[in-house]
Amino acid sequence: MKSLMKRQVSAWVALIAIALMPLSVLAQTQLKYHSNKYSVQDDVQLGRRAAQEVEQQYPLLRDGQVENYVERVGQRLVSAIPSQFRHSEFQYNFKVVNARDINAFALPGGPMYVNRGMIEAARSEGEMAGVMAHEIAHVALRHGTAQATKGQKYGLLAGIAGIAGTILGGSQVGQLAQAPFAVYLLKFSREYETEADILGSQIMAGAGYDPRDLANMFRTIQQQGGGSSGGFLSSHPSPNDRYARINREAQLLRVEGGRGDTREFAAVQQRLRGYGSAPTMAEIARSGQRYPVGENTGNYPGNRPSGRVEYPSTRYQSYSILNGGVEVSVPGNWRQLNDGNAVWFAPEGGYGQFNGQVIYTHGASLGVAQTSSRGLQRATQELINGLAQGNRNLRASGGYQRTTLGGRTALLSNLTNVNEATGRSETIRLVTTQLRNGQILYMVAVAPQGERNFDTAFNTVFRSVRIND
């Protein structure tokens, strides 16, 4: 089924975008950390939260060969980070975003996202590695939280500082996950960009790449029109200055062993071209689509076979959701997916994308709705009408049954639907109750018809609901 609520495009997360410029070994430029009121652990937490958001915001390319290749190049670079800029807490990982713009970005603590367009544009593995090394340098130098330490003076929007502040304030991580993320497009100061170019060059040389490839990548991007909106150069100005600076540094660096597997790089590029044209970041943002982590795991025709949907675990995990208004326990193998005003809990394989929409085949969602109708029964009918708009085959089977949800009067409605992704009949149960403020709290449970093992889980989830309004 499709979700009830409209999706909110939650905004962005730090584009600790790419900057470039290297330094070197002979009289390699010495870099220092900027003052930073955050702990290394804060970087890790902040980046982890942001990564979740990023992965709902942008479609990841799920291609084992490409993912594996990019990850290997990334780890090779990571192992060349100078010791004074290593943090054992950081976990660098590298994912490919299925977007056309020539760009890449990294989050505090190590999550990095490389656009498919960047890999396709690079003329060599070294050029691709250059951008990645630059991003790694931002992370290693802890530029995100250093910038947040300085507040907004350097063009940082309130978002990152606010979020970091929330983490430091000791508020529950669960709540943080619910909060709509502020959009914060992080632009670093020129000084930071130069530092990332310098350290990036040092990392490249240490990993066996020619640092000048970082500079060459600027040219490549310029030639390919990457200076336009959304591209690397839009967050990394003055490529000519940087080109010269990087090349100056490169002369100071000794490259440790020759690197750059041209054959594998060419094979990956060819593989990517086989996917046709990727959407731009702007198109992705405009679509408002949210991508659950593990996208394309749904058992839909056309998706890679992912096997069965796991049975609900008999161990339950509690969540505080909807800004602390509701507590609920769900099977431990279900994951939380924020979907506009609603929260879904679903097992792997129980949701995925179909025709650009997120469709659920197994799972439960809770949300709050404002209806124009008064009275629980009329409000419930209005909700069902809303659901029917997105699910053409939705039918009520029987009337309302009285029940309780979180200790208060509630209505249970049994519905049937034909899942538009799988074509299978499915059972939907909708339970509604009124909140003190007149809004409707609803819980929706969906599973294919006849999958009884989900009934028990839904009943347990349903009975676990506690309302704090």
Give residue 260's region: left, alpha or beta (phi > 0; psi -120 to 50): left
Neighbours of 28 (CB within 10 A): 19
Give the residue with the Cβ less far from Zn ion, 14 or 196: 196
Residue nearest to Zn ion (CB): 19
Q: How far is the CB of 19 from Zn ion (least distance, A)?
A: 2
Question: 212-223 vs 125-140: helix axis angle to the nearest 10?
Answer: 110
* Sign of the torsion angle spanned by Cα atoms 228, 230, 233, 237: positive
Q: How far is the CB of 349 from Zn ion (least distance, A)?
A: 38
Interacting span for Zn ion (CB under 5 A) from 95-103, 188-196, 331-339, 433-441:
188-196
Q: How far is the CB of 18 from Zn ion (least distance, A)?
A: 5
> Distance between CA 82 and CA 348 in Å, rounded?
39
Interacting span for Zn ion (CB under 5 A) from 120-128, 156-164, 193-201, 223-231:
193-201
Interacting span for Zn ion (CB under 5 A) from 14-22, 33-41, 223-231, 315-323:
14-22
Give the residue with the Cβ less far from Zn ion, 19 or 139: 19
Q: How far is the CB of 122 from Zn ion (least distance, A)?
A: 16
Q: How far is the CB of 346 from Zn ion (least distance, A)?
A: 36
Q: How far is the CB of 282 from Zn ion (least distance, A)?
A: 20
Give the residue with the Cβ less far from Zn ion, 125 or 193: 193
- Contact status: 118 vs Zn ion (CB under 5 A): no
Element (H, E) at 283: helix 281-287
- Contact status: 19 vs Zn ion (CB under 5 A): yes
Interacting span for Zn ion (CB under 5 A) from 10-18, 44-52, 161-169, 360-368:
10-18
Q: Which of 467, 464, 431 is nearest to 446 (CA)?
A: 431
Give the residue with the Cβ less far from Zn ion, 18 or 136: 18
Q: Where are the alpha helices (DSSP H) in 12-63?
A: 40-57
Interacting span for Zn ion (CB under 5 A) from 18-26, 164-172, 220-228, 460-468:
18-26
Q: How far is the CB of 197 from Zn ion (least distance, A)?
A: 8
- Contact status: 140 vs Zn ion (CB under 5 A): no
List 51, 61, 78, 196, residue binding Zn ion (CB under 5 A): 196
Q: Residues touching Zn ion: how many (CB under 5 A)?
A: 4
Interacting span for Zn ion (CB under 5 A) from 73-81, 100-108, 176-184, 185-193:
185-193
Q: How far is the CB of 174 from Zn ion (least distance, A)?
A: 32
Structure tokens at 304: 């890679």
Give the residue with the Cβ less far from Zn ion, 198 or 387: 198
Give residue 39's region: left, alpha or beta (phi > 0; psi -120 to 50): beta
Q: Supply the Cα-derived Rg of the chain in whole angstroms.
A: 24
- Grouping H, G, I as helix, E, B as strand and the rest as coil, residue 104 is strand
Give the residue with the Cβ less far from Zn ion, 18 or 383: 18
Query: For 111-149, b where at least 16 C-beta lie within 10 A, e where not — what string?
Result: bbbbbbbbbbbbbbbbbbbbbbbbbbbbbbbbbbbbbbb
Give the residue with the Cβ less far from Zn ion, 193 or 426: 193
Q: Is there a contact between 96 and 278 (Cβ–Cβ < 8 Å)? A: no
Give the residue with the Cβ less far from Zn ion, 18 or 430: 18
Give the residue with the Cβ less far from Zn ion, 281 or 368: 281
Interacting span for Zn ion (CB under 5 A) from 40-48, 192-200, 246-254, 341-349:
192-200
Give the residue with the Cβ less far from Zn ion, 136 or 326: 136
> Distance between CA 235 and CA 233 in Å, rounded?
5
Kindly give the pairing relationship between strand 93-97 and strand 111-115: parallel
Q: How far is the CB of 143 from Zn ion (least distance, A)?
A: 8
Kindly give the pairing relationship between strand 104-106 and strand 316-321: unpaired
Q: How far is the CB of 235 from Zn ion (least distance, A)?
A: 7
- How many residues does the structure list for the chain? 469
Give the residue with the Cβ less far from Zn ion, 89 or 191: 191
Structure tokens at 244: 């010269």
Q: Where are the alpha helices (DSSP H) in 179-227?
A: 190-207, 212-223
> Distance between CA 120 and CA 101 in Å, rounded?
10
Task: Give the binding site for Zn ion (CB under 5 A).
Answer: 18-19, 193, 196
